[in-house]
Structure 1
Amino acid sequence: MSELLQSKWGAVLLTILVYLLFRKVQQHFRWALLNPILWSITVLAVVLYTLDVPYVAYEESAASISFLLSPSVVALGVLLYMKYPMFKGNIKPLVLALFIGSVVGVLSVVLLLFVLGVDEVLLVTLAPKSVTTPIAMKITTLLGGIPSLVAVVVILVGIFGAVVGPKLLQWAGVKNKVAIGLSLGAGAHGIGTAKALEIGILEGAAAGVAIGIMGGFTAFITPLIGAIFRLF
């Protein structure tokens, strides 16, 4: 089994099968806490630990899945093209809202970590946690942080947002489809976008817009905020 997981397609096959299994479980019970990504990660981590398979070996074996991460984000542009007329008259407030969201997303975590007195490496590592994984890892790497750590945090934030976000928006009385999609995309990144796509195509398109714009703003804002806090 250990050799299978380290083979070229073994890890890919196991990852897909585990994910499909928990997706079926969630569809059957319809419990938000049965998020297939959360439980897939948990089960795969237990399997790797039990079989003493190094994560590096698993990562190399499952490289084809990791490769699809970036193209999948770009592919969201197709949905934007399909629903562009719905956004055309609201570009300015949409961009402004996402800009404010980017500033709050970076500033909130940086301010909290600064108050707690953490070292600079951890601060620049977690600062871009409000964008999708490939963008966050790239920003963290350029700032001298730990990309693997921010990847874990981004995934956890995304799972939490996908599980809690729809209910929170419902309780807040948010019914506008674009607003729902923007909220899930901005707050829960790729996993939130997947959830938005489950709700509807317009919500998914709006979430895709949020991912792209938030990524651009955050890449620009994070070094500036980090530089300001280095002065203190």
Structure 2
Amino acid sequence: MKEFLVDSLFFGAVLSLAAYEAGLLLKRRFKLAVFNPLLIATVAVMAVLTLLKIEYRHYNESAKYISYLLTPATVCLAVPLYQQMELLKKNLKAVVGGITAGVLSSLLSIFLLARLFSLNHEQYVTLLPKSITTAIGMGISEELGGIQTITVAVIIITGIFGNVTAEIICKIFRIHNPVAKGLAIGTASHAIGTAKAMEMGEIEGAMSSLAIAVAGLLTVMGASIFAMLM
């Protein structure tokens, strides 16, 4: 059985999609933020691989094709932004200021935590791209000498955490403006958080989509500067 699955061209892709669909069913059934489809899928895939004693590299050989869709899927987020172009123009200063503040907060927090826990340079730069989409974060991590696989894991964890806690945090801090919500979610938790923003409303989704792109560009420049601090 193990040999059959390892040699299969579709095992990884089918397992990933089936696990994600299971996560969607749980989310619809219980309607709780903790049942995040991506979180459920991640745990389910890890459980199956561990149970069947299948190495990650074998799984990835047949699952990597899904990753090819990551970049075009991210680009498609420009569609809701285009639909809210007039709103963007009216709030341009607030948008630029909000995203810039979010990116600086992310980079500064990683720097302070790296100092606090005495991380080395490789570990430090691995964590710097935590709040941007995987497609950009992997490139930054590789360029700065980080560990790409850990960067991907950190980015996914950040996104899931943002997706699960976005509504709660907005309620706690009484953030009601849809533009502010979208910018905060997109800047802090990239595409996974944007999925939650789109559930919250069209404006939130559009602003979050914008935040992904702008935060990614700012992080590319900011991470290069912050990397020199350690």
Does TM, scored on the shorter chain, surpass 0.5? yes
Distance in 1, Cα, partners of 2:60 & 2:27: 26
The residue number in structure 2 matching 1:175 is 176
8 Å contact kept, 1:38–1:159: yes
1:196-207 paired onto structure 2 within 5 Å: 196-207=197-208
Q: Deviations over 1:17-60 (max 9, x none)?
A: 21112211111111111111111101101111111212112112
Query: Which portions of structure 1, spanning 4 or more consecutive aligned residues, are displaced by more than 4 angstroms?
Result: none
| TM-score with structure 2 setting the length | 0.95
The residue number in structure 1 matching 2:213 is 212
The residue number in structure 2 matching 1:102 is 103
- Count of residues in correspondence between the two structures: 229
The residue number in structure 1 matching 2:155 is 154
The residue number in structure 2 matching 1:65 is 66
Structure 1 residue 97 displacement after superposition: 1.4
The residue number in structure 2 matching 1:9 is 10
8 Å contact kept, 1:129–1:153: yes
- 2:52 equivalent to 1:51: yes
1:88-99 paired onto structure 2 within 5 Å: 88-99=89-100
The residue number in structure 1 matching 2:26 is 25
Distance in 2, Cα, partners of 1:28 & 1:132: 29
Distance in 2, Cα, partners of 1:107 & 1:207: 21
Residue 214 of structure 2: SS of its match in structure 1? helix
Structure 1 residue 5 displacement after superposition: 5.5
- 2:75 equivalent to 1:79: no
Distance in 1, Cα, partners of 2:195 & 2:7: 28
8 Å contact kept, 2:194–2:205: yes
Residue 62 of structure 1: SS of its match in structure 2? helix
Structure 1 residue 92 displacement after superposition: 2.0
Deviates more, 1:66-75 or 1:196-205: 196-205
8 Å contact kept, 2:98–2:184: no
8 Å contact kept, 2:99–2:184: no
8 Å contact kept, 1:106–1:130: no
1:114-129 paired onto structure 2 within 5 Å: 114-129=115-130
Structure 1 residue 171 displacement after superposition: 2.2
The residue number in structure 1 matching 2:131 is 130
Structure 1 residue 6 displacement after superposition: 4.6
Q: Deviations over 1:145-174 (max 9, x none)?
A: 001101101111111111111111022211
Q: Deviations over 1:102-148 (max 9, x none)?
A: 11101111121123211111011111112111211110100000011
Question: Unaligned 5+ residue runs, structure 2?
Answer: none
Distance in 1, Cα, partners of 2:6 & 2:25: 23
8 Å contact kept, 1:6–1:58: no
The residue number in structure 1 matching 2:167 is 166
RMSD: 1.3
Distance in 2, Cα, partners of 1:79 & 1:193: 11
| TM-score with structure 1 setting the length | 0.94
User: Sequence identity of aligned pairs in percent?
Assistant: 35
- Aligned partner letter, 2:31: R
Structure 1 residue 201 displacement after superposition: 2.1
8 Å contact kept, 1:177–1:202: yes
CA spacing shift, 1:7–1:95, aligned 2, 3 Å: same
Question: Unaligned 5+ residue runs, structure 1?
Answer: none
8 Å contact kept, 1:12–1:61: yes
